[in-house]
Chain A
Amino acid sequence: MAETKYIGKTIPSKEGARHATGRGLYTDDFTLPGMLHAVILRSPHAHARILKVDPQAAREPPGVFTVVTPEEIEKKTHPFKPGRYAAGLKKAIPEYAGAIGKVRYVGEPVAALAARTRGAAEDALELISVEYEPLPAVVDTAEAMRPTAPLLFEELGSNLAWKGSLHYGDVAAAFNQADKVVREHLKIHRYSSTPLEPFACIASFDAASKKLTVWVNAQVPEVIYDALREALGLEDVRVIIPDIGGGFGQKIHLIRKYVVLISLLAIESGRPVKWTEDRSEHMMAAGHSCAQEFDVEAAVKNDGTVLGLKFKEIDDVGGSISTLTIHFTNKLNNLSNTYRTKNIFLEGCSVVTNKCPVIPNRGIGKPGMCFIWERMMDRIAQELDLSPIEVRSINLVQPEEMPYTTPSGNIYDSGDYPALLKRALEKIGYEKLKAEQRREREQGRLLGIGVVIGVEPGGRNAARDMAIFPEMKESPGSGGVNGATIKIEKNGTVTLFLGSPNCGQSHETTTAQVAADILGVDPEHISTSTPFDSDLAPWGVAAANSGNNFHLYDIGAVHGAASRLREKILTLAAHVLNAKSEELAINAGVVQATGSPLKKISFAELGKIAYGNQALMPKGFEAGLQATFYYTFPHGEPNLVPGPEGLVRAQFTFSAGAHVAVVEVDKETGKVHVLRYLIVGDNGAVINPQVVNGQIYGSAAHGISVALGEGFVYNSDGQLLTLTLTDYGKSSTMETPRIEVEHRPSPSPFTTLGQKAAGEGAAIPSPAAIASAVEDALRPLGVRVRELPLSPEAVWKLMQEAVR
């Protein structure tokens, strides 16, 4: 493809029109004949033994079809297999779709029922009688690790459910050679991306054929597919994923519990069953990002060079063992951030508590890793009396070192980190801002400038966890696979089947641009098949709105399928036109021989031949105009699987961004106002600038909102106090700042079009940028920022403590 007409340009959104006219189709929009409505009975206790569940009264009202209790869940379903998210689990602990024997967090599902209407179901739910023996709640990790603490899982003998460590290079030598060791204790709180559409699912079971079909707003079809087969012992499972009202990781994991429960109700009742979660259910039980605590030490030279980094992490993983280690293991994805430090030690502790289980959320542990590095860079600068820019600059990986192999085995494909930083400072007017800050400080204004830099890993390698858990019994696989199918119908229409569902990242638009350039058609004439349907889609392990996989696996697959189809088109056209395929060009759906104006044929004419006229096909030509391609990353080696040194690529592409936050702290209230927020980003070759900008704006806005106060709060009894979006503190148009974005792309030398990831990106460095800016604003008071969130209350307390 010599030149591109659509790749690299903003074209009108292909999803946009249906969403803007209210014709998007989400799971809750579907109705099946005879469909029942389900509701879930949840635990009101953070920690309790379930003594007795009596569903009798709930079964009596005429509209009620089926009630399932813990007893039935245990009898009629199997526990989930401990997946890769729980790879560190020492002892097998069966986890079912509902609580069995004990509840371990407020909102844990206990029972479920299905009735003719949602109203009848809600009325009947109140008739299920549950007798609990409340147990003391464990809500604090330090408390949880005390030998006398009540145990969440007696089988483990401790609430410290996993502990492990990794080291790279010679960490001891680094600390011996250091001029100084800089120490800090850092914390990140519990938050989520709170997608606007809660979980929803419809299950329909055909008892005669034993086929189960589910419609669900899940981000990863594999999780649902495997869960249903494991839990219900079924072979024939079809997963349909309609439009999803936002995912961000939230709809990957815990949603499987509900799909199993609703499917069980459908099997038991013989009717299709729909369930839609409500907002407070989502807040209490759909999953939270992990609260993380870090003890960090950096071995530094007097010039700011970081020789070594050590950190010990304590993760508050909540009341389930099924996602025990995800926030620790994801530290490997950006362990080095943008820096050259060779010697790194990390230790992780996963502690179970009586809170909502943790789940993947936009970047998982990566915002934490960036927070560690960027907080330490500021701290090192303070302690050595250097500028924070100088300290960062001296440690940055240099452009001439690309592709650069990090100590843990990641290979940074391309990038010019010093240039990103330099451009960000230029564009924000750093020196001028500093001068303004000095002047304004004299007037008593608390202005702060935070400058940080971070990488955004993309394209997951399934083998990563083998480096952390060499004892893993079941191979997690390696690399990633996803497919795409593209076909020309007999009337010339181009139809694209993607291997992944779409939850708002414009997959249909971006893939159509790629296919359009390869096939020589207008993207408007490409129709993408929705919803995702596991019976039809060419999907693999990377079929996921997760791991920043789309740019690598889906684009690679679409590129491969379209290229294959192009060959087929040219072969058929060359035969029909009696031309050589090298002489043929395709434009606007017409194949034309260069230099022979009369030798041309349209896709519609080719379609008629390919699907119905054998005599006109070349010998040996496979009829039809369709191609499928399954993509694996062709540059997966080296470090695809860990060797004896344990080096592995956690992800395959590395975007990067320099962020600058300019803030003002209100002295009276502690409220932080973001005056400017700038990102200079490298997302590789950009396929659609407005799509990529949208991902950057959205992820930055979330990271900023997280840093400034959104989050989950529990009381000491383990009751969640933030059950609504207002209590939780979600930012509206009024709190969200304008975000400025400039692209400085370094195309990846390894990917199909030079593209890199953009989905999680700005959520990774933005919490660190806000922390840095707030600390800078409070410098006159000598405040050190160690914790998120920086809510008005927290900032006010920091100021009060400083004054004292």
Chain B
Amino acid sequence: MKETIKVTVNGRTYVEDVEPRLLLSHFLRETVGLTGTHVGCVIGECGACTVILNGKLVKSCLLFAVQADGKEILTVEGLAANGTLHPIQKAFVEGYGLQCGYCTPGMILAAYYLLGKNPDPTEEDIRKGLAGNLCMCTGYMQIVEAVKEAAKQLKKA
């Protein structure tokens, strides 16, 4: 028994028949084919699957795909336009705000959401904004610095 859903991902609309138990994270990865949304725990504690759903920061493993019916999603693949990195992506690359890359898409979207709400965050604000996204590699130092740098660049632009 499948449900038909209509979901817009990074500006493109998909109409798909899905099992009701299909998680949004797996819908994005397997049905839509965007594997930048990673899965690290499936219970909402690691943040690797973070996406933006109708303007809200969500963990896509905590939602069923059917819950996204009629909604708009931004994934990491939707940030760079024609190979030009978004200032947040650029800051992560230049400032080594990533190592293995597994937490990176979720981390970048959490930073994107944070800077949208608060363009001039303190270090404390940044750390709070990213607290739902775990990284096992970096000790967060260069990630926090990259977000500071991205904030600076976004303000200039």
Interface residues of A (CB under 8 A from B): 10, 12-13, 15-26, 28-29, 119, 193-198, 243-248, 276, 278-279, 503-506, 690-691, 693-694, 697-702, 724-726, 730, 732-734, 736, 738-739
- Which residues from chain B contact A119 at a C-beta distance below 8 Å? 19, 21
- Which residues from chain A contact B77 at a C-beta distance below 8 Å? 21-23
A496 to chain B, nearest CB (A): 19
CA distance A568 to B125 in the complex (A): 55
CA distance A771 to B132 in the complex (A): 28
- Which residues from chain A contact B41 at a C-beta distance below 8 Å? 278-279, 724-725
A206 to chain B, nearest CB (A): 25
Q: Which of B73-132 contact A (CB under 8 A)?
A: 75-77, 79-80, 85, 89-90, 92-96, 98-105, 108, 126-128, 130-132
Stretch of B42-50, B52-60, B64-72 that contacts chain A:
B42-50
Taking a contact as CB atoms under 8 Å apart, the answer to whether B79 and A698 are in contact is no
Taking a contact as CB atoms under 8 Å apart, the answer to whether B96 and A196 are in contact is no
Residue B11 is within 8 A (CB to CB) of chain A in the complex? no
Q: Which 7 A-B pairs have the closest CB atoms?
A: A22-B36, A19-B101, A701-B139, A504-B100, A245-B102, A16-B93, A504-B99
Question: Given contacts A245-B101, A698-B137, A730-B134, are A196 and B108 in contact (CB under 8 A)?
Answer: no
- Which residues from chain B contact A194 at a C-beta distance below 8 Å? 136
Taking a contact as CB atoms under 8 Å apart, the answer to whether A279 and B142 are in contact is no
Taking a contact as CB atoms under 8 Å apart, the answer to whether A15 and B136 are in contact is no
Residue B134 contacts which of A16, A18, A23, A725 (CB distance < 8 angstroms)? A725
- Which residues from chain B contact A17 at a C-beta distance below 8 Å? 85, 89, 93
Q: A18-B101, A23-B77 are in contact. List 9 more A-B contacts (CB 8 A).
A: A20-B92, A24-B102, A26-B35, A246-B136, A698-B138, A724-B45, A725-B45, A730-B134, A733-B131
- Which residues from chain A contact B135 at a C-beta distance below 8 Å? 196
Taking a contact as CB atoms under 8 Å apart, the answer to whether B141 and A697 are in contact is yes
- Which residues from chain B contact A701 at a C-beta distance below 8 Å? 138-141
Residue of A nearest to B109 (CB): A22
- Which residues from chain A contact B92 at a C-beta distance below 8 Å? 16, 20
Residue B144 is within 8 A (CB to CB) of chain A in the complex? yes
CA distance A699 to B138 in the complex (A): 8
A135 to chain B, nearest CB (A): 31
Residue of B nearest to A247 (CB): B100
CA distance A25 to B100 in the complex (A): 11
Taking a contact as CB atoms under 8 Å apart, the answer to whether B85 and A22 are in contact is no
Q: Which of B23-43 contact A (CB under 8 A)?
A: 29, 34-43
CA distance A506 to B99 in the complex (A): 7
- Which residues from chain A contact B29 at a C-beta distance below 8 Å? 28-29
Residue of B nearest to A279 (CB): B41
B18 to chain A, nearest CB (A): 11
CA distance A702 to B99 in the complex (A): 14
- Which residues from chain B contact A244 at a C-beta distance below 8 Å? 100
CA distance A348 to B75 in the complex (A): 51
- Which residues from chain A contact B140 at a C-beta distance below 8 Å? 697, 701, 733, 736
Question: Given contacts A21-B36, A21-B77, A21-B80, are A503 and B100 in contact (CB under 8 A)?
Answer: yes
Residue A694 contacts which of B43, B75, B80, B138 (CB distance < 8 angstroms)? B138
Interface residues of B (CB under 8 A from A): 19, 21, 29, 34-43, 45-46, 48, 75-77, 79-80, 85, 89-90, 92-96, 98-105, 108, 126-128, 130-144
B44 to chain A, nearest CB (A): 10
Query: Could you write out 18 A-B pairs with CB less than 8 Å apart?
Result: A19-B104, A20-B76, A20-B89, A20-B92, A22-B75, A22-B76, A193-B136, A194-B136, A278-B41, A278-B42, A279-B42, A279-B43, A504-B100, A694-B99, A697-B138, A698-B99, A724-B43, A734-B131
A725 to chain B, nearest CB (A): 5
Taking a contact as CB atoms under 8 Å apart, the answer to whether B40 and A197 are in contact is yes
Taking a contact as CB atoms under 8 Å apart, the answer to whether A20 and B48 are in contact is no
Taking a contact as CB atoms under 8 Å apart, the answer to whether A738 and B99 are in contact is no
- Grouping DSSP codes into helix (H, G, I), strand (E, B) and loop, the B interface class, with mixed when no group exceeds half, is loop
- Which residues from chain A contact B138 at a C-beta distance below 8 Å? 694, 697-698, 701
CA distance A730 to B140 in the complex (A): 13
Taking a contact as CB atoms under 8 Å apart, the answer to whether B98 and A13 are in contact is yes
CA distance A244 to B93 in the complex (A): 18
CA distance A739 to B140 in the complex (A): 10
Taking a contact as CB atoms under 8 Å apart, the answer to whether A246 and B95 are in contact is no
Residue of B nearest to A193 (CB): B136
B90 to chain A, nearest CB (A): 8
Residue of A nearest to B124 (CB): A734
- Which residues from chain A contact B101 at a C-beta distance below 8 Å? 15, 18-20, 24, 243, 245, 504
A542 to chain B, nearest CB (A): 21
Residue of A nearest to B91 (CB): A20
B155 to chain A, nearest CB (A): 20
Residue A733 contacts which of B46, B127, B142 (CB distance < 8 angstroms)? B127
- Which residues from chain A contact B141 at a C-beta distance below 8 Å? 693-694, 697, 701, 738-739
Taking a contact as CB atoms under 8 Å apart, the answer to whether B127 and A20 are in contact is no
Residue of A nearest to B132 (CB): A732
CA distance A17 to B93 in the complex (A): 6
Taking a contact as CB atoms under 8 Å apart, the answer to whether B142 and A198 are in contact is no
Taking a contact as CB atoms under 8 Å apart, the answer to whether A29 and B95 are in contact is no
A636 to chain B, nearest CB (A): 30
Taking a contact as CB atoms under 8 Å apart, the answer to whether B35 and A690 are in contact is no
- Which residues from chain B contact A690 at a C-beta distance below 8 Å? 95-96, 142
Taking a contact as CB atoms under 8 Å apart, the answer to whether B139 and A697 are in contact is yes
Taking a contact as CB atoms under 8 Å apart, the answer to whether B93 and A22 are in contact is no
CA distance A702 to B133 in the complex (A): 16
B28 to chain A, nearest CB (A): 10
A555 to chain B, nearest CB (A): 18
- Which residues from chain B contact A699 at a C-beta distance below 8 Å? 139
CA distance A736 to B45 in the complex (A): 16
A222 to chain B, nearest CB (A): 21
Taking a contact as CB atoms under 8 Å apart, the answer to whether A246 and B76 are in contact is no
Residue A196 contacts which of B46, B90, B95, B131 (CB distance < 8 angstroms)? B46
